[in-house]
Structure 1
Amino acid sequence: MISNKLERSSMLIEWLLLLALLATPLITLLEVWTPFGGADLLQEKLNTILNRPGINPADYPLHFPTRLLGTLVQLLPDLVFMMMLWQLRQLFRSYRAGLLFTFEQIRRYRQIGLLLCVTFVVELIHLPLLDTVLTMRGPEVLGTISLSTSDFRVLLAGLIVLALALVMREAKLLADEQQLTV
C-alpha cells in the first residue's frame, strides 16, 4: 500500500512539475511581449533607468532587437529554474519506479544544490545585465548590483542541499559496503 501511495504521489508531483516547467517561460514571455496588467515591462524598466535629469526617456524607444535581447535576459533566471524543475521531475519519476537511494538520485540532489547556488549568481547579475541590454542604444548609465537576505537564503539552501547530497553519497557507500561484508 505504501508503494502504491508513493507511486500516486510521485506521479501527481511529476505532472505538477511538468506544468510548472511549461508555464514558467510562457508567463515570462507574456509579461515581456504583452501589456500584462496594462504595462510594458521592458519599456517601464527602460524609463526607470533613464529617469534622470537631462534625459528624456521618449528619445530612446525600445526597438525590436533590444526587446528580443531583453527577453533573453528575462528568461535567464527561468532557464535555471526550469533546469531545477527538470531535476526534481526526474527525481520523482525515479521515486515512482521505487528507486529511492541510488547514486543517480544522489546525483540529482547534487544538481539541485548546484542549481540553487547558480540561482544566487544569476539573480545577482540579472538586473545589471538587463540594464546594460536596455540602454545599449541610449546614454551611458551606471549599473548596480544589490544583495538581499533572500539572495543569501537561496545560496544557503543550495549549500545545504549539496551537503545533504554528500552525506547521502557517503551513507550509500557505507550501506553498499556493509551488504558485501558477511
Structure 2
Amino acid sequence: MTAVITLKPRAELLVPEETDAQRRVRLGSRVLVWLFTGLLGLAVVLLATALATMVFYKGELVRIGPDNAYIGGGPANSTAFGSLPLVHRLVYCLVGIVRATPIIMLFWSVRTLFGLYARGKVFEPENGRSFSQIGGWLCAYAVSPLLCHLFLSATGYEIDRNWAHMASFQAFILGLLVFVIGQVMRVGREIEEDRKAFV
C-alpha cells in the first residue's frame, strides 16, 4: 500500500495575489516617481542656472535689495547683482547651494519613497528610512534661511534681510512630524519581524 503525502509550500515562498488597491498604489506611485524625477531635474537645472547667473551675468536685469532678489528690474534701493565684487557673488553662490540642497534632496527622497511603493514595497524598513529622510530634509529646508542669515550677518555680506517666513516654521513642524512617522514605521516593522520570529 502506498501513502501519498501532499506538502504545502512554505508560507514565505507564497506570492500573494495583488489586490486592486495594491495595483492602484503601485501604478499611481509610478506616475509620482516620474513627477518627482522631473521636479528633481528642474531643481538641479534652476540651481545651476542661478549659480551661472550669479557668477557670470553682468547686466541690470538681476538685482538684489534689502527685501528680496528681483529678476527683470527692481526698486530704487536694489543693486544689480553683477555689479557686486566677485567674492560677494561667490558668497551668495554658497548661500544658494545651502538653500537649494534641501529642496533637491527632498525631491530625491520622495522619489525614492514612491519608487519603493511602485515596486510593491509598502511596509519595509526602507519605507521608514525614506520617511525619516523626507522629514529631515524638510527641517533642513526650514532652518536654512536662518543659518544663511546668521552666516551673512557675521561676514557682513548680507543684502537681502528678508529671511524670516511663516512657511519655514510650518515646514519645520511638518518635517518633525514626518520624521517621527518614519521612526514609528521602523519600530512597527521591527515589532512585526520579532513577532514572526517568535511564532
Q: How many residues align?
A: 168
Match of 2:189 in 1: 172
Counterpart of 1:98 in 2: which secondary structure?
A: coil
Q: C-alpha separation between the residues in 2 aligned to 1:132 and 1:81?
A: 25
Q: Which runs of 4+ in 1 moved over 6 A?
A: none
1:1-182 mapped onto 2 (5 Å cutoff)? 1-31=20-50, 33=53, 39-42=61-64, 45=69, 51=77, 61-127=83-149, 129=151, 136=157, 147-182=164-199
- TM-score scaled by structure 2? 0.67
Deviates more, 1:169-178 or 1:96-105: 169-178
CA RMSD of aligned residues (A): 3.6
Report deviation, 1:162. 1.8
Q: Is the 8 A contact 2:64 2:159 kept in 1?
A: no
Output the amino acid matched with 2:29: S
Q: C-alpha separation between the residues in 1 aligned to 2:160 and 2:104?
A: 27
Aligned residues: percent identity?
22
Q: Is the 8 A contact 2:145 2:164 kept in 1?
A: no
- Which structure's residues are more often helix, by fraction? 1
Report deviation, 1:62. 1.7
Report deviation, 1:90. 1.0
Q: Which has the higher contact order (CA 8 A, sep 6+)?
A: 1
Q: C-alpha separation between the residues in 2 aligned to 1:42 and 1:30?
A: 17
Q: Which has the larger radius of gyration?
A: 2
Gaps of 5+ in 2: 1-19
- TM-score scaled by structure 1? 0.72
